[in-house]
Amino acid sequence: MATFTKLNSGSWRVQVRRKGKYVNETFLRRKDAEEWALDVERRVDRGDPALTRSSREARTFGDLINLHRDDLKEVRKPIGRSKAASLNLLQKRLGRLRLPELDRARLIQFGKERAREGAGPVTLGIDLGYIKTILSHAAAVHGVTISTEPVALARVALARLSLVGKGTERDRRPTQDELDRLVAGFEANHLQQIPVGRIIRFAVATAMRLDEICRVEWSDFDPHKRTLLIRDRKDPRRKSGNSQRIPLLDVSGYDAVAIIEEQRSLAGKTSSRVFPYNGRSVGTAFRRQCRALNIDDLHFHDLRHEGTSRLFEAGFPIEQVSLVTGHKDWKMLRRYTHLKPESLHEARARHAA
């Protein structure tokens, strides 16, 4: 049964309760409210999901992307930078397609086009994942009758063409000579305002990500317990509330506590953050110095891999290493670990001692 209420603004709110279903909407004209209510009642009687006005007006894939954005905004769930970039790309490339046009063949075509543009198997897989998420969200939350089967079929086809799949595990580890040259190069450059050399040493000592390093505050540092609180660590299952206190060790060739004290003595506590610098600026400086020193194919994130590997080489078992790196899935931790063969001789010597 539909109930119509005229609001102080002059608009009409309609509420439909039928067979245990409840939906409400607001319209400027009563006639529009009546037509919508009648349509909802008919859908409920047929066993179809009740549509909101927004979903009823959705005609294109771009409309569904907007619904997804609006719903996340309504529940105050922020969209991350990488997801926002992916949604913008999908809006640009597929947003004008009417929903029936978003079929298996069109998705395969989209995948081939992205591959020709340089998108790798992992990137294309992420694109398809977001397409499925948007379609599933529209069906579950708004009752839009649409299937995700074309996405699944397109993924199978693109996987057979080797355009979708798992990425190649990266095993690039910097040599000690490369690290020494990088640190020396930054410290010798008096025009370099950011102490990138110190940040490089700290990254290897702690196995922290660059954004975590640039976000940590002085209040997070406990010099007595030699620990550091890392707030909201990256976690694919949770976007916030992943704070972790890690031990600051000196087993990697660099002493994390000594580096923090060095930062305190040279930079002072003029900021609430220990390393009050823009992570992008640090990354840009790092890449520029690698080019200047002819150090090929080295990313700043490789320093996290290096720090993790040095913890294993120091003899720590996987459960203890995870207390430093923050990995909850030990399979992922193994993926980041690339031990040097010669390190086994050192480990044997330690066990013999």
- The 10s digit of each residue's pLDDT in 308-348 is 989 988 888 888 998 998 887 777 777 655 556 665 555 55
Residue 196: name the closest of 185, 209, 207 by CA: 185
Confidence of residue 307 (pLDDT cuts 50, 70, 90): very high
Please indicate, yes or no, whether residues 13 and 117 belong to a single structural domain of this protein: no
Q: Is 234 among the domain residues?
A: yes
Q: Is 43 among the domain residues?
A: yes
Please indicate, yes or no, whether residues 280 and 343 belong to a single structural domain of this protein: yes
Q: Is 73 among the domain residues?
A: no
* Segment among 101-105, 150-154, 172-176, 264-268 with least mean pLDDT: 264-268
Which CATH number covers residue 276? 1.10.443.10
The pLDDT tens digits for 108-144 are 999 999 999 998 898 999 999 999 999 998 887 777 7
Please give the tally of structural domains in the chain. Answer: 3
What's this model's pTM, rounded to 2 decimal places?
0.64
**Last-in-domain residue among 131, 160, 189:** 160
Please indicate, yes or no, whether residues 156 and 181 belong to a single structural domain of this protein: no
**Pick the residue with more confidence: 166 or 302?**
302
Confidence of residue 259 (pLDDT cuts 50, 70, 90): very high
Q: What's the domain range around 145? A: 79-160
Please indicate, yes or no, whether residues 194 and 275 belong to a single structural domain of this protein: yes
